[in-house]
Amino acid sequence: MKFVTTKTETSLAELGREVFEIKGAKAATASKNAQAALREANPHIADLKKVPAGTLVVVPDVPGIKTASAQSPGEVSAEMISRLRSALVAAKRIIEKSAESQLQDAEATTSLAKDRELMALAKQTPELKERLSKIAEHAKLQSKEVAEDKQAQIQALGQLEKDLASFSSE
């Protein structure tokens, strides 16, 4: 999958001709398939007859149709790169807050499962004792999974930041 930024106002049909290499006897069918794929991959574009200049367009992989090398990554606008960087910063904050909240929930669950009064009651009720043990185990597992997920997500954002840097000369 590639991304391009339109240089001038264009239509979906023109865009399809620019970003895909459509040739041969089945060009009409291939063109329709390419346009359908562009339409599906770009729901953010409201008017497909007039795609504004500067619009970021997702160019999906379409079986049987090669993508043209219409634009180099260096042609992504500075404004778009700035917006994407801001989005990555916001995503990182959200991931960190979400992980923190989930860890607090798991810690609160563990704390409640080990509450003295509840443990005293659990001694009298074997089912409750077993259930509290399972709850504490689940909370411990949840804490571990949250930490692992956070690490993987932050690592993925780091890779996205590196990829974004390759689009920019800043």
Each domain of the chain, given as residue ranges in start order, spans 2-71, 78-167
For residue 123, what is the enclosing H or E element?
helix 116-124
Rounded to an integer, the average pLDDT of 85-104 is: 95
Residue pair 16/29 in contact by the 8 Å Cβ criterion: no
Rounded to an integer, the average pLDDT of 49-71 is: 82
| Percentage of the residues of the chain whose pLDDT score is greater than 90 | 39
The yes-or-no verdict on residue 104 having pLDDT over 50 is yes
| pTM, two decimal places | 0.53
Cα–Cα distance between 164 and 142 in angstroms, integer? 32
Cα–Cα distance between 20 and 71 in angstroms, integer? 12
The residue among 168 and 49 whose pLDDT is bigger is 49
